Amino acid sequence: MKIKKIESYQVRLPLVSPFQTSYGMLNEKACDILVITDEVGNQGFGELVAFEQANYIDETLMSSRAIIQSELLPLLTSHDIGKPADVTQVFQEVKGNVMAKSALETAIWDLFAKRQNQPLATLFDVTKNSLAVGVSIGIIKNLTVLKEQVTDYLNQGYSRVKLKIAPGYDFEPLAMLRAAFPDLLLMADANSAYTMADITLLKKLDKLNLAMIEQPFTTTDFVAHSELQKMMQTPICLDENIRCLDDVKTAYALGSCQSINLKIPRVGGIQSALEISRFCQEKDILVWLGGMFESGIGRSLNLQFAAQACFTFPGDISASSRYFVEDIINESFRIENGCISLPQGPGLGVSLSASNLKKYAAYQLLYKDELL
Ligand code: OSB
Ligand code: MG
């Protein structure tokens, strides 16, 4: 395929309500939507999901933009790309920067599917056309409000609840939810806020029949997670630690976790995510699809990827209305009878809303081939 043009929409979407985690408060989500146009006018969309601050992982929106401009775009536009896996190959010489790579790589996958006039999901081992999903809930200090919020989400059809925890906000809200909803598929996400000094508290969480505890310790520590997993019944799930297949192999070798929260952008794109999901299946690690407040572009990608047979645990793929007042796509993802349906059109199956882009985004032309 030939690349004629690469454009970027720098988007800022207001959230329906502020979202608090152990590392900070989010009021609006910034992201870039990359649009890659081929020689016949097909357009592939990729979302750059990196955060503005380096408080989730080290990569940021600014650092990703810089590496896209200085290294990834020149590589992408100077090589022949026949299939999406070629992008992974071409980007290999750039170390790390997984979210920057993913933004471009996923746009090429979308473009590739559109050139074949096929939904993206047909390029994966997809068996479902709608899926049960979970919701991730930020820190809500008032437990009455928290309980009402969970009740509301369950009524909407979410089949799994993840609560963000942090030191001082952990056992009590989780125990309250467990008492109020004895059969709820409930889990906790610490976003690396604890240390081995908190071991007594963490062990206490074993009483609550949680589906898993996500990322209790720092983002690079496989050893502490392994020690904790040996002391706990509850499965440990790794999120921030996992940036590539090698990280999963390390976690497996050390016994650092029983589950992986797989996010396509956090592992450098679809090719890497496919390899990781295959490895997890082989090794009996429970792999499920996470989220990072994606706009409709990243949300469609997550839905299509999570429709594969190996994803049995409900992902962090909520309805559009759970996060955003308005989105930048024309379609919206709704929960009906407890499930969200996959879009059916070619590629990601969603279209950009010109009017909402005007309202919420700034435009930048990143590359143009004057000969095409
Ligand atoms: O740790 O899984 C996380 C959002 C942004 C960054 C990290 C995380 C999250 C969430 C929300 O938990 C997931 C979602 O619903 O998009
Ligand atoms: Mg997490």
pLDDT number for residue 372: 82
Half-sphere exposure of 92 (CA within 13 A, CB side): 8
Region 318-345 average pLDDT: 95
Q: Is the CB of 239 under 6 A from ligand 1?
A: yes
Candidate list 263, 283, 358, 359, residue with the active-site label: 263
**In this predicted model, what pLDDT tens digit does every residue of 271-318 receive, in sequence order?**
999 999 999 999 999 999 999 999 999 999 999 999 999 999 999 999
Candidate list 101, 147, 164, 359, residue with the active-site label: 164
The conformational region for residue 249 under phi > 0 = left, psi -120 to 50 = alpha, else beta, is: alpha
Q: Is the CB of 169 under 6 A from ligand 1?
A: no
Most informative mutation of 259, 316, 327 for ligand 1 (most atoms within 8 A of CB)? 316
Q: Is the CB of 216 under 6 A from ligand 1?
A: no
Residue 158 DSSP code: -
pLDDT number for residue 72: 98
pLDDT number for residue 107: 98
Place of tokens 């071991």: 199
Region 2-15 average pLDDT: 97
Q: Is the pLDDT of residue 22 over 90?
A: no
Region 38-43 average pLDDT: 97
Strand residue runs (E) in the chain:
3-21, 24-38, 43-48, 130-132, 134-137, 160-164, 186-189, 213-214, 236-238, 259-262, 286-289, 335-336, 339-341, 361-368
Place of tokens 């206490």: 204
Q: Is the pLDDT of residue 33 over 90?
A: yes
Region 74-99 average pLDDT: 97
pLDDT number for residue 23: 85
3-state DSSP helix/strand/coil percent for the chain, to nearest 5? 40, 25, 35
**Alpha carbon of 178 to ligand 1 centroid (Å):** 22
Residue nearest to atom 13 of ligand 1 (CA): 291
Region 147-172 average pLDDT: 97
Strand partners, 341: 130
pLDDT number for residue 125: 85
Question: Using CA atoms, how far apart are residues 346 and 117, in angstroms rounded to an integer?
Answer: 5
Q: Is the pLDDT of residue 126 over 90?
A: no
Q: Is the pLDDT of residue 362 over 90?
A: yes
Residue nearest to atom 6 of ligand 1 (CA): 292
pLDDT number for residue 127: 84
Query: Are 181 and 150 contacting, i.e. CB atoms less than 8 angstroms apart?
Result: yes
**Alpha carbon of 291 to ligand 1 centroid (Å):** 5
**In this predicted model, what pLDDT tens digit does every residue of 168-203 receive, in sequence order?**
999 999 999 999 999 999 999 999 999 999 999 999
Whether 203 is a known active-site residue: answer no
Region 252-256 average pLDDT: 98
Whether 147 is a known active-site residue: answer no
pLDDT number for residue 74: 98
What proportion of the chain, given as a percentage, has pLDDT over 70?
100
Q: What angle do CA 133, 333, 142 make, to 5 degrees?
A: 60
Strand partners, 137: 163
Q: Is the CB of 81 under 6 A from ligand 1?
A: no
pLDDT number for residue 24: 86
Strand residue runs (E) in 108-255:
130-132, 134-137, 160-164, 186-189, 213-214, 236-238
Question: Using CA atoms, how far apart are residues 34 and 7, in angstroms rounded to an integer?
Answer: 6
pLDDT number for residue 28: 95
Phi then psi dihedrals of residue 103, to 5 deg: -60, -45
Q: Is the CB of 42 under 6 A from ligand 1?
A: no
pLDDT number for residue 187: 98
Q: Is the CB of 291 under 6 A from ligand 1?
A: yes
pLDDT number for residue 195: 98
pLDDT number for residue 346: 98
Q: Give the number of whichever ligand sits closest to the CA of residue 259.
A: 2
